[in-house]
Each structure stands twice: as C-alpha cells, then as structure tokens.
Amino acid sequence: MVDVTPDVTIDLKGLSCPMPAIKIKKELKGMKSGQVLLAIGTDPGTKNDLPGICKKGGHELLGIDEEGGLFKYYIRKG
C-alpha cells in the first residue's frame, strides 16, 4: 500500500487501453512538479504501460495498489 496523499485524483474505471494512458499524460501536463496524481482504473494493461510513460515523461511511479479489481496508480510529476 502506498502511503502518500495525492494532490489530484482521476477516475479511469471502465476505460481500456490506450485511454487510461492518454488521460494520465493529459492530467500530468496540467500539474505542478512534485505533485502526486492518483489514477484509479480497472484496465490491468495500464500497469504495464505506466513505467515507460513515467520514465519518458520524467515522472516517478511511486507505486501501484491492487484491490478488488481496482488498480490505484500513484505518480509524482517530474
């Protein structure tokens, strides 16, 4: 479990690839450096895409929590 308080939370439930990744990138663009984004989704494929998205964008993937079919992605904007 990731122990961090997010600055912004987005709901990606019901969306499938590539929409979660697109929405995460769009949300991060509007955030300030150092802020934390919590993205909550149901598409397990996003888990595989996020490390590359974060690395390419200079962001830090703080962790992924999974419970009851929900994935919570914690990302610190770089």
Sheet hosting strand 60-67, strand order edge to edge: 8-12, 36-41, 70-76, 60-67
Q: Which is the catalytic residue, given 2, 4, 17, 70?
A: 17
What CA–CA distance (Å, rounded) separates 70 from 50?
15
Task: Tell me, yes or no, if 54 is annotated catalytic.
Answer: no
Q: Which amino acid is at 9?
A: T
Q: What amino acid positions are annotated as catalytic residues?
A: 17
